[in-house]
């Protein structure tokens, strides 16, 4: 039957009528808060209306009221499954506005954390999607792998979710000691889990039946809707910002862009599974090629001083010895010591905070610090506007920043990747069964934080 | 095409529609009049020289407070201003907001086959804030235009379903306008029966 036709009652048979079904806003399979009003004929979806905006927090309005680095915590909360990619995207947009280039090691660090975040995002998407189809153990395995990766994120940034790791002109701190070994271990564990999940899902009769052929979209439609990322690649279009408009140091790595052929949920699942493998490849290459960090043992004295002690000494004017020592900084600022500073910041004093030894140990460092953090001071980019796209976990994540030359942005606009996919949701659902709403919606990987901002 | 040749090609094709252009920081940008928007958009999508297959983003900027921001503190003017390093493309300075129009609708286009990007800006007066809808050219314009209507109160002529998208229907005002206070509260609404 043509799904657009209204069913008519046939004499002698029971009367059929269209039914309106509300899915959400608060529904277990509506990851976050979303409302789908589906018009049904029996089990077939005739038409849908999608309502979003339940999680609107006014990100763009808030970004106009705080200074440039103050936007960072808000970007964490855009895509809260891969917050590090948002950090990187926003920082690179502001750096483009400033005309600033960061050191190579910093680029590598940003690539490593972005790819780790991409894996966690895909793990969540595939795991949650499988759970909604009844494969609960896959979800548990994938969350186990995500835990290994989030431990890495915690090790680097000091937080699991609200990371705020990047700074305009660099990153907050260098990679910690022992990161490489733990990272390789976590990637190995993730590989095992991916193999396990692949064995459990890829040829699983129930899973394939429900994923294959549902939520179809053609390449032309997907492009017209502005869909990017794994969703577009599932339809056979090999568009990846990392390949087509390379940023940071992505042009130095070897990786493939997996594409599907049919543009259905099953192909998108396969694309995501392969992309995790490719992200692991990128991280491994980055770990191999990253320019060496500082020697971690303090060459001069061998006696690091806790930063708090440095503050006390500095307050009393005993600063003579401080500059020669390495500061031991608490976990949230680990890696920001002087010996590590050169590798992670852009070397532009008017943008990046000084090393802690300098802040506590000499008046220039102290002034530099306060000129950046005091209300009404801080970074002032020149007047202008820039757009900078990065490859988010769901597709092209773009930041459009307009500056009026003051300490806070005049306008910050996010191009959220899943907004475009959600706009195509009515098209994806029409003609499918009501049970197909769940896998299709799951494969969108809708993240309320970036959709509603 | 690089930014300069893209702008030149557009200037040659539409000598009257292109009001201004710049490529600040390497982003090709053209300012076009709203009466020729649809024609330019169709050409950009279909012409083999441009092939702008993606409407990546459509948003707006309210320039009514530009240059009038109140200083947040006594020492406000002693902040740091950074000049670009020489390796960043910066041949052209940014010409500034397109006075006297209050709003600018900003579209970011991307060509998948040719891998170039273009920003189109359409100045919109406050008194007659209406632009032609791009929904007939790119399907992605549908929700993006709804968001611009919701946030800025700019109407889109020919849009099939121009209603609020992030805010609720009872919301009064358009929150991303510069004259909308950031801490304003609106009454809670109950369920609609």
* Residue B87 sits at the chain A interface (C-beta within 8 Å): yes
Partner residue opposite B25 with nearest CB, options A245, A384, A408: A384
pLDDT of residue A103: 82
The ipTM is: 0.89
Instruction: Find which of B80, B165, B178 to mutate to test the A interface (most A CBs within 10 Å of its CB).
Output: B80
Q: CB–CB of A376 and B74 under 8 A?
A: yes
Residue B142 in this model has a pLDDT that exceeds 70: yes
Min mean pLDDT across A317-321, A395-399, A439-443 is at A317-321
Residue B106 in this model has a pLDDT that exceeds 90: yes
At the topology level, CATH places domain B1-65+88-193 in: Beta Polymerase; domain 2 (3.30.460)
Q: What's phi and psi for A112, nearest 5 deg?
A: -60, -50
Instruction: Find which of A413, A414, A453 to mutate to test the B interface (most B CBs within 10 Å of its CB).
Output: A413
Name every residue whose Cβ is closer than 8 Å to that of residue A341 and which is 6 or more positions away in sequence.
A354, A355
Q: What is the mean pLDDT of residues B99-124?
A: 90
Enumerate the residues of chain A whose CB falls inside 8 A of the CB of residue B94: 382-385
pLDDT of residue A298: 43
CA dihedral sign of residues A266, A267, A270, A271: negative
Residues forming a β-bridge with A38? A21, A48
pLDDT of residue A115: 93
Q: What is the mean pLDDT of residues A173-187?
A: 86
Considering only residues B102 and B83, tell me which one the structure prediction assigns the higher pLDDT.
Answer: B102
Name every residue whose Cβ is closer than 8 Å to that of residue A141 and which is 6 or more positions away in sequence.
A127, A193, A196, A197, A200
Min mean pLDDT across A52-56, A315-319, A431-435, B97-101 is at A315-319
Q: What is the mean pLDDT of residues A16-38?
A: 81
Partner residue opposite B82 with nearest CB, options A348, A389, A406: A348
* Residue B78 sits at the chain A interface (C-beta within 8 Å): yes
pLDDT of residue A336: 66
Q: CB–CB of A376 and B71 under 8 A?
A: yes
Return the ∠ at Cα A343 (arms to A340 and A347), rounded to 5°: 105
Tell me the pLDDT band of A402, cut-offs 50, 70 and 90. Answer: very high
pLDDT of residue A431: 85
Q: CB–CB of A387 and B59 under 8 A?
A: no
Residue A307 in this model has a pLDDT that exceeds 80: no
Q: What is the rounded average pLDDT for all residues in chain A?
A: 84
Q: CB–CB of B87 and A101 under 8 A?
A: yes
Q: What is the mean pLDDT of residues A163-174?
A: 84
Tell me the pLDDT band of A3, cut-offs 50, 70 and 90. Answer: low
Q: What is the mean pLDDT of residues A66-70?
A: 85
Residue B130 in this model has a pLDDT that exceeds 60: yes
Tell me the pLDDT band of A126, cut-offs 50, 70 and 90. Answer: very high
C-alpha–C-alpha distance, residues A442 and A425, integer Å? 11
Q: Quote the tokens at residue A336.
A: 């920001």
* Residue B171 sits at the chain A interface (C-beta within 8 Å): no
Q: CB–CB of B84 and A405 under 8 A?
A: no
Q: Are residues B57 and B50 in contact, defined by beta-carbon separation less than 8 angstroms?
A: no
Q: CB–CB of A407 and B59 under 8 A?
A: no
Enumerate the residues of chain B whose CB falls inside 8 A of the CB of residue A407: 72, 76, 79
Residue B48 in this model has a pLDDT that exceeds 60: yes
Enumerate the residues of chain B whose CB falls inside 8 A of the CB of residue A348: 82
Q: How far is CA A370 from CA A188, A308, A314, in A?
A: 43, 18, 15
Q: CB–CB of B94 and A382 under 8 A?
A: yes
Q: What is the mean pLDDT of residues A94-121?
A: 88
Q: CB–CB of A386 and B176 under 8 A?
A: no
Return the ∠ at Cα B122 (arms to A222 and A95), rounded to 5°: 75
Closest CA to B164 of A426, A53, A48, A411: A53
What is the per-residue pLDDT across A45-67, written as a single tens digit (0 to 9) for each? 888 989 888 889 889 998 888 88
Partner residue opposite B69 with nearest CB, options A52, A406, A452: A406
pLDDT of residue A322: 61
pLDDT of residue B76: 47
Enumerate the residues of chain B whose CB falls inside 8 A of the CB of residue A245: 115, 117
What is the per-residue pLDDT across A204-248, written as a single tens digit (0 to 9) for each? 888 999 888 888 899 989 999 999 999 999 998 989 999 888 888
pLDDT of residue A297: 42
Report the chain A residue with the minimal C-alpha distance to residue B141. Answer: A225
Tell me the pLDDT band of B80, cut-offs 50, 70 and 90. Answer: low
pLDDT of residue A7: 55
What is the per-residue pLDDT across A248-306, written as a single tens digit (0 to 9) for each? 889 899 899 999 888 899 999 999 999 999 999 999 999 888 887 654 444 444 556 66
* Residue B160 sits at the chain A interface (C-beta within 8 Å): no
Q: How far is B35 from chain A (nearest CA, A)?
A: 23
Residue B79 in this model has a pLDDT that exceeds 60: no
Q: Where are the domains of chain B?
A: 1-65+88-193
Residues forming a β-bridge with B15? none
Instruction: Find which of A55, A99, A231 to mutate to test the B interface (most B CBs within 10 Å of its CB).
Output: A99
Report the chain B residue with the minimal C-alpha distance to residue A416. Answer: B57
Report the chain A residue with the minimal C-alpha distance to residue B58. Answer: A415
Enumerate the residues of chain B whose CB falls inside 8 A of the CB of residue A60: 151, 176
pLDDT of residue A270: 92
Q: CB–CB of A375 and B72 under 8 A?
A: yes
Q: How far is B12 from chain A (nearest CA, A)?
A: 25
Min mean pLDDT across A188-202, A374-388, A426-440, B134-148 is at A374-388
Enumerate the residues of chain B whose CB falls inside 8 A of the CB of residue A410: 61, 65-66, 69
Residue A90 in this model has a pLDDT that exceeds 90: yes
| Domains of chain A with bracketed CATH | 59-292+385-452 (1.10.645.10), 305-373 (no CATH)
Q: What is the mean pLDDT of residues A105-131?
A: 91
pLDDT of residue A295: 43
Q: How is A62-75 classified by DSSP, letter by letter?
A: HHTTSBTGGGHHHH
C-alpha–C-alpha distance, residues B63 and B97, integer Å? 7
Q: CB–CB of A422 and B143 under 8 A?
A: yes
What is the per-residue pLDDT across A182-201, written as a single tens digit (0 to 9) for each? 999 999 999 999 999 999 98
Closest CA to A130 of A393, A442, A435, A447: A442
Considering only residues A24 and A58, tell me which one the structure prediction assigns the higher pLDDT.
Answer: A58
Report the chain A residue with the minimal C-alpha distance to residue B72. Answer: A376
Residue A434 in this model has a pLDDT that exceeds 90: no
């Amino acid at each position: 039957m043509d799904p657009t036709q209204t069913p008519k009652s046939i004499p002698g048979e029971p009367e059929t009528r269209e039914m309106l079904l509300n899915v959400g806003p608060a529904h277990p399979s509506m990851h976050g808060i979303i409302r789908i009003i589906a018009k049904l004929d029996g089990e077939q979806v005739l038409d849908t209306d999608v309502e979003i905006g339940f999680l609107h927090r006014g990100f763009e309005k808030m970004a106009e009221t705080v200074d440039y680095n103050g936007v960072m915590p808000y970007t964490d909360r855009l895509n809260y499954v891969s917050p590090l990619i948002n950090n990187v995207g926003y920082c690179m947009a502001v750096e483009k506005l400033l005309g600033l280039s960061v050191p190579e090691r910093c680029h590598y660090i940003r690539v490593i954390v972005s790819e780790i975040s991409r894996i966690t995002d895909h793990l969540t998407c595939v795991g949650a999607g499988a759970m909604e189809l009844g494969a609960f153990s896959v979800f548990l395995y994938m969350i186990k792998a995500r835990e290994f990766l989030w431990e890495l994120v915690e090790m680097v940034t000091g937080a699991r979710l609200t990371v705020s790791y990047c700074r305009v002109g660099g990153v907050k701190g260098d990679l910690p000691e022992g990161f490489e070994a733990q990272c390789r271990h976590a990637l190995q564990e993730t590989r095992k889990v991916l193999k396990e999940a692949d064995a459990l899902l890829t040829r699983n009769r129930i899973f394939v039946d429900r994923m294959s052929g549902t939520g179809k979209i053609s390449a032309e439609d997907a492009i017209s809707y502005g869909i990017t990322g794994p969703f577009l690649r599932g339809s056979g279009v090999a568009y990846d910002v990392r390949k087509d408009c390379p940023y940071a140091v992505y042009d130095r790595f070897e990786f493939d862009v997996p594409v599907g052929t049919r543009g259905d949920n099953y192909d998108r699942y396969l694309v995501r599974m392969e992309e995790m493998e490719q992200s692991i490849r990128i991280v491994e290459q980055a770990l191999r090629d990253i320019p060496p960090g500082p020697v971690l043992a303090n060459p001069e004295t061998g006696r690091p001083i806790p930063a708090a002690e440095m503050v006390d000494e500095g307050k009393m004017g005993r600063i003579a010895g401080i500059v020669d020592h390495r500061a031991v900084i608490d976990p949230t600022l680990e890696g920001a010591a002087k010996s590590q500073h050169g590798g992670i910041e852009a070397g532009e004093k008017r943008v990046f905070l000084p090393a802690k030894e300098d802040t506590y140990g000499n008046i220039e460092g102290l002034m530099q610090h306060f000129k950046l953090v005091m209300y009404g001071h801080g970074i002032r980019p020149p007047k202008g506007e820039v757009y900078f796209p990065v490859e988010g976990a769901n597709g092209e994540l773009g930041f459009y920043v307009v500056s009026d030359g003051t300490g806070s942005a005049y306008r910050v606009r996010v191009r959220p990747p899943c907004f475009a996919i959600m706009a195509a949701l009515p098209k994806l659902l029409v003609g499918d069964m009501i049970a197909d709403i769940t896998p299709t919606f799951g494969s969108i990987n809708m993240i309320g934080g970036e959709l509603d901002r | 095409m690089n930014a300069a040749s893209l702008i030149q090609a557009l200037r040659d094709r539409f000598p009257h529609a292109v009001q201004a252009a710049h490529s600040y920081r390497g982003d090709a940008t053209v300012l076009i009049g709203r009466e020729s928007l649809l024609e330019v958009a169709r050409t950009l999508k279909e012409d083999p020289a441009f092939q702008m297959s993606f409407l990546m983003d459509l948003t707006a900027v309210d320039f009514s407070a530009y240059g009038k921001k109140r200083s947040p503190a006594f020492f406000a003017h002693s902040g740091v201003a950074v000049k670009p390093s020489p390796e960043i493309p910066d041949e052209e300075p940014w010409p500034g907001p397109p006075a006297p129009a209050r709003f600018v609708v900003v579209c970011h286009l991307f060509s998948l086959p040719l891998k170039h990007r273009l920003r189109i800006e359409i100045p919109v007066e406050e008194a007659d804030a209406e632009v032609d809808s791009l929904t007939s050219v790119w399907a992605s314009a549908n929700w993006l235009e709804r968001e611009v209507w919701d946030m800025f109160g700019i109407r889109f002529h020919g849009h099939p379903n121009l209603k609020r998208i992030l805010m609720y229907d009872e919301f009064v005002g358009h929150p991303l306008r510069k004259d909308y206070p950031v801490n304003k509260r609106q009454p809670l609404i109950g369920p609609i029966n």
